[in-house]
Amino acid sequence: MTDFLQNSGWLFDLLDVAVVAYLVYQFLLLVKGTVTFRVVVVLGCLFLLYAASHVTGLKTVSWVLSNVFGSLIILLAIIFQHDLRRALVVISRKAAAPAGKGEGLEVIEELVTASESLATRSIGALIVIEREMPLDAYSAVGTEIDAKVTSELLTSIFLPYSPIHDGAVIIQRGKITKAGCFLPLAQDPEISKSLGTRHRAAIGLSEVVDAVVIVVSEETGRIAVAIGGGIIRDLDAAGLRKVLKRLLESRWLQ
């Protein structure tokens, strides 16, 4: 048995590398499309610069980066505190079963119909669709709905005389769970000045979670979708349908 273990050392090395690679891959999937992902990319570039400074003999650069990496665990804990908490929630909670393929397609059609109807009448709307990362922190102050997604219900929520028309609707596991929710505004100074509060809220939320956010502009009657800190603007019904199917297929349409 001892001889076998000694002769199979390379197998354990391979297993060791495979486990680490899998953990890194799962972590990147978890933070994909968020600010955390971009921070991870920056840290990766700094690590490559650190390695290059050793090879090329750039002692000052190497010294600075070695001190930065020396406090890396503390820095990561501070920078990623919200994401770590969110990740623990994702891992620990038992998620309800997502909608099936047929139901998922039905939800998308209702979203497209409602968005087109609201856009035609220049009624502003903000609709958030949860994916892998939970939205519980952003739905805590909203009005509980717990209803099937229908274009009629969505339209009625955003009518100007509705008491909850200013907030966002949150859709989780194929159902409308909350309405009248308030989202964090994006702080990026490079965002176009033509984008209003709804668009900034949509982008702001998509910077910290992987949700898909539909925005209907009250001023222009145009439809947009925010995802990963970016925004896809000027969508018609066909364009919105295509975007939603692409972004939600891994969640609903398998």
The pLDDT of residue 97 is above 60: no
The larger pLDDT score, comparing residue 123 to residue 88, is at 123
Query: In which order are the strands placed within the sheet that holds 143-148?
Result: 143-148, 175-181, 168-172, 125-129, 212-216, 223-227, 230-235
pLDDT at 166: 83
Q: How far is CA 148 from the centre of its chain?
A: 23
207-223 residue pLDDT tens: 888 899 999 998 888 99
62-94 residue pLDDT tens: 777 677 666 666 766 666 666 666 566 555 544
Locate the domains of the chain by residue range. 2-92, 101-252
pTM for this prediction: 0.63
**Rounded average pLDDT over 190-197:** 75
| 239 Cβ neighbours under 8 A, 6+ residues apart | 223
Instruction: Evaluate the CA torsion angle 66, 67, 72, 75 in order and state its sign.
Output: negative
| 184 Cβ neighbours under 8 A, 6+ residues apart | 138, 201, 204, 205, 208
Say which CATH architecture domain 101-252 belongs to. 3-Layer(aba) Sandwich (3.40)
